Every structure is written in C-alpha cells, then in structure tokens.
Amino acid sequence: MRVVVGGMIGAAVLAGCTGTGEGGSGTTSSRNADSDNLFNPCRGAMSDEAMRGAGLDPATLHVVTDPPTGASAWRICTWKPLDDRYGSGRRSVGIASTRFTLEAARKKDGVTVIRDTSINGRDGLVSKENNTPDLCYVSFEAEQGMFEVSASWTSDEGPRVGDLCEMSEKYAVALEPHLPK
C-alpha cells in the first residue's frame, strides 16, 4: 500500500508542475483554481453497484487525499479488486479527481507518457512516473480538469499476473460511465 499512497500523493503534488512552474509564464495547468467543485469519488459519489460492476470492492475504500473542508486540487481514493478479471496479484486501483488538465499531465516532469488513448470517447493518455515502476495511470479529460485511474502492485509477495497499464485502462473504461463529463 505504501507504493500506491506514495505514488498517488506524488501525482497530486507534482501534477500541476509544467516546465515553468505554477508561478511562471507557461500554460495554464488547471481549471477552477479558486473553488473546489470536484467530483468526489471518496464520499459516496461512486455507488457500490458501479464499483462492483467495474470489479472493485467498495468495502476496501482507502482515502489517499480528501480534505474534509476547503478547496482541494485533488480527491484520491483506492480500492482492491473484487476478482482477477484484469489480472491477479496483490494490487490496488485508484480514482483521482482533479482540476489539473490532461495537458498538465502530459507535461509533468518525471513522467513518461507511454501512449495516447481514448476512454469511451474521451481523450486520454497512459503514463508512468519514472520513480514508481509499480504504478500506471490512465488520465482522461473532464470539464473539471481530468480523472486518473491507476493500478498498482501493493506487495512483492505472490504472483503478479498482468500489465498494470492494461489493467488501468480496462478499469478506466469500466468506471468512466460513472464519472461526470
């Protein structure tokens, strides 16, 4: 779980960084910076039925970042899979809701964009943080900024079957209909 939490928090901290920094004269890296109107996957916005349908166990909710009050650039939670439909081994799946844009994710330092993708018609990308090899993100557009769905190994024990990026993409496709445009 340390890898997931560390990687997800690293994503939250670094996602707004473009080449010029937040105070620089580069491109805008987020939307709605002064208010928090983010979809919150951590506090009941995702129904148990939707979570189970996507292959996640709603009872295993782990909040990574979700301040109880005030504006936040990120709302991030993880769950354990219900079954082995997309792979097997000890792993976790995260949903991150953010005001940062897909453009910011593409330009983030320390990230390798593996490929562009489309998640049920939404532009997206598949990426990995260079210092976190056991974690893969699928980021896709939303009016609020973007959503990121991630898959990560949570233990070195036991078998690891499947590709984390493929898992992330399959979970993203299953979860996307339950996330706002």
Mean pLDDT for the stretch of residues 35-51: 88
- Tell me: pLDDT of 9 over 80: no
Is the pTM above the cut of 0.85?
no
The better pLDDT of the pair 70, 63 is held by 63
Write down the pLDDT at residue 21: 36
- Tell me: pLDDT of 93 over 90: yes
98: amino acid identity, one letter: T
Residue 31: pLDDT band with limits 50, 70, 90: low
Rounded to whole angstroms, the Cα distance separating 140 from 126 reads 9
- The domain segmentation of the chain, as residue ranges, is 2-16+29-178
**pLDDT exceeding 90 applies to what percent of the chain?**
71
Q: Which of 66, 148, 160 is nearest to 111 (CA)?
A: 148
Burial class (CB in 10 A: 0-12, 13-18, 19+), 25: exposed
The better pLDDT of the pair 22, 133 is held by 133
Asked if 128 and 114 touch (Cβ cutoff 8 Å), the reply is yes
Backbone φ, ψ for residue 107 (5° rounding): -95, 0
Write down the pLDDT at residue 19: 37
Backbone φ, ψ for residue 64 (5° rounding): -90, -50
Asked if 145 and 31 touch (Cβ cutoff 8 Å), the reply is yes
Q: What is the maximal distance between C-alpha atoms in the chain?
A: 48
The better pLDDT of the pair 33, 54 is held by 54
Tens-place pLDDT, residues 105-157 = 999 999 999 999 999 999 999 999 999 999 999 999 999 999 999 999 998 88
Rounded to whole angstroms, the Cα distance separating 30 from 15 reads 9
